[in-house]
Structure 1
Amino acid sequence: MTLALTHSDILSVLDRQEVRKAVEQAHAGLAMGECANPAPSAIALPESGIALPMATGGRGMVAVKLLCDVPANRDRGLPTQRSTIMVSSAITGEALAILDGRAITAIRTAAASAVATDHLARRSPSMLGMIGAGNLAVEHAFAIAAVRDITRIVVWSRSTETIGSFRAATATLGISVESAESPEDVLAVSDIVCTLTPSRRPIVRGVSFRPGQHVNAVGAPPRADHREIDGIGMQRAKVVVDSFPTAMAKSGGVLLAISEGFITEDDARTELGDVIVGKAAGRMSDTDITLYESVGIGLQDLATAELVIERATAQGIGTSINLSG
């Protein structure tokens, strides 16, 4: 039997702290060769869209995620990215579950940024900066606050209404939220910065980076011509990626900085898992600028999906389907 889980089913069983721990373990497993995450391939869709099937390996399960990135959906009032995850047994090949990818993608993305922050940011109490204030920013506020003592949050968005929604959604954190006039103003006061915009051109200039800052570059879609951070920013920072093969296939931030001569491939080889297990250095001093380039990998989805399937099965949530019938 195959378990089908909707967006609301998944939200009812997801535990953010458990997801963060699972994502950290998954990256460590990737570094140690216990998990596999091939570079994604892309399929062209009409209206300049792309679909990314990402196959991964985990503990007894494998997953394929179909992520459809469709920019034309903005004009339809629909999400630009939609995804579906299928999990199968690595032993028998049986389809174990089909899951809507929206909540899993958002929460595991924020969890990965929190893991990167925990291993790369300074330990002192911090001011958190958000460039972008949508739902992913909300998830990042909760995730980062779980690994660092956040004293204030400063947010920039093109929409004051979005900042108001962000403030309301994060009220339970008990952390004051201030608005900024520009991305530069966020960088000027923040110790940890999360960039969360679907930008094609750089929205963050590396000349504004300050010594000791940690940056999570998250928002740009997995396209070689999209980036939030300019080449100078990539050059000034110690860059850590989720997966080197994935970054070399889909990270505009990395690929464009290489093509412009600001960094080389070797500058982008450090993976988050290698830092976690001690195979590579992350932050070396309090004055280092560290940058986590988040493209997103299927292994993060699988680690989260395994938790969801386990909890949903235990609680009798979801719909079982006999695909072989």
Structure 2
Amino acid sequence: MTAAPGPSLPSFTSRPIPGAPVPLVLTRSDLAGLVTPAAVVDAVERAFADLAEGSASQAPLAVAAVDDAAHFLPMTAVSRRAGLAGSKLLADVPGNRDRGLPAQRSVLVLADADDGAPVAVLDGGLPTRLRTAAASAVATRWLAPPSARVLGLVGAGGLALEHVSAVAGVRPLEQVLFWTRSDATAATFVDGVGARHPEIKVTRVDSPAGAVEPADVVCTLTPSREPVVRGEWFHPGLHVNVVGAPPRPDHREVDGEAMARSRVVVDSVSTALGESGDALLAIAEGAIDESACRLELGAVVAGLAPGRRDAEEITLFDSVGLGLLDVVIGRLLVDAARAAGRGLSVELSA
């Protein structure tokens, strides 16, 4: 059984080289509210297919680090459809939590795919949240049961609200069950869902198992080093999006049994087998082998591999993140910002 294709996908047009606009600098506040979750999900879905079909290219993920404390990852890709090449520099600095700063920071640089001219520089925080949630929604569209109505979230931080909005666009959610240790985070999340999706019932549960066992779709959204979700909690028909852990081989959110009990779909084979602790640690333990992590979501979206095959199948999407998705979302954001008159135009070559 394969999922029905989503709504018609967006078509981007490259900007002509003559008279190209002056590069745009966009801050976090400039980017707020420019695009809808539905538009982002559709663009990300098309990008996955483009990657599988060869009209987009994703550079292998590389890590630059002097020691284990801070990792810097340039995530580079080019999209013929978007007419852009781009690179997001992701800084993963766990020690920032002790400084009261975000553990992850990023900046996205976009260039014209034809002549290499700079197009924009964006704060990377919002594109990262949008693309992570959109990737989960695309995986949910193709892999989750059509009858899915209950979403379970393990973690309720910055990714959680965007996940509710994105997944609600591909399945008619009736209830969200969520687990978090922080009362303040819980209150912020409940208020956010209430403002955006008053029709969805939101319930805080007292354990990760409470967010997994009753759910149809689960999203793990924690920067965990040790498993917070166990495969013994999985039931037939469940779909799980494992997207929260940073791209570090020693971090994981789910245990080996979770990987072994599931049909695993990854965003990128090379990335999963290089930087996904969920995959690599399960392989090291003998729960799975590398062959279990060789199906990419793009192949499913492009019709090269089946989506959900039957009602009882347990599916798991393991995502570390693709720079290509930042590039196509960057196209949406830059076009919307120019239309809204937002951002600062800066001639970098002056």
Secondary structure (helix, strand or coil) at the match of 1:147 reads: coil
1:156 match: 179
Aligned residues between the structures? 325
CA drift of 1:45 comes to: 4.7
Q: Distance in 1 between matches of 2:107 and 2:341?
A: 21
1:218 match: 243
Q: Distance in 2 between matches of 1:260 and 1:86?
A: 39
User: Percent identity among equivalent residues?
Assistant: 47
TM-score (structure 1 length as normaliser): 0.97
CA drift of 1:161 comes to: 2.7
- Per mean C-alpha deviation after superposition, the further-off stretch among 127-136 and 12-21 is 12-21
CA drift of 1:160 comes to: 2.6
Q: Distance in 2 between matches of 1:267 and 1:47?
A: 28
* Paired amino acid for 1:225: D
- Residue 291 of structure 1 pairs with residue 309 of structure 2: no
Is contact 1:48-1:70 (8 Å) kept?
yes
Is contact 2:134-2:166 (8 Å) kept?
yes
Secondary structure (helix, strand or coil) at the match of 1:155 reads: strand
Secondary structure (helix, strand or coil) at the match of 2:88 reads: strand
Kindly provide the CA deviation profile for residues 73-122 of structure 1, in whole angstroms up to 9, marking residues without a partner as x.
00111110000010011221111110100011001110110010000000
* Paired amino acid for 2:183: T
- Residue 275 of structure 1 pairs with residue 296 of structure 2: no
Name structure 1 gaps, 5 residues minimum.
none
2:146 match: 123
1:3 match: 24
2:16 match: none
Counterpart selection for 1:207 from 232, 238, 243:
232
2:59 match: 38
Name structure 2 gaps, 5 residues minimum.
1-21
1:175 match: 200
Kindly provide the CA deviation profile for residues 253-293 of structure 1, in whole angstroms up to 9, marking residues without a partner as x.
11111111111111111111101111112311111000011
* Paired amino acid for 1:197: T
Cα distance change of structure 1 residues 268 and 163 upon mapping to structure 2, 3 Å threshold: same
1:26 match: 47
CA drift of 1:188 comes to: 1.5
Is contact 1:4-1:99 (8 Å) kept?
yes
2:119 match: 96
Measured on the aligned residues, the alpha-carbon RMSD in Å equals 1.1
* Paired amino acid for 1:17: A
Counterpart selection for 1:256 from 281, 290, 305:
281
CA drift of 1:12 comes to: 3.5
1:196 match: 221
- Residue 51 of structure 1 pairs with residue 76 of structure 2: no
1:67 match: 90
Kindly provide the CA deviation profile for residues 283-325 of structure 1, in whole angstroms up to 9, marking residues without a partner as x.
1111100001111100010010011111112222111111111
1:80 match: 103
CA drift of 1:125 comes to: 4.1
TM-score (structure 2 length as normaliser): 0.91
CA drift of 1:14 comes to: 2.4
- Residue 229 of structure 1 pairs with residue 250 of structure 2: no
* Paired amino acid for 1:198: P
Is contact 1:238-1:282 (8 Å) kept?
no
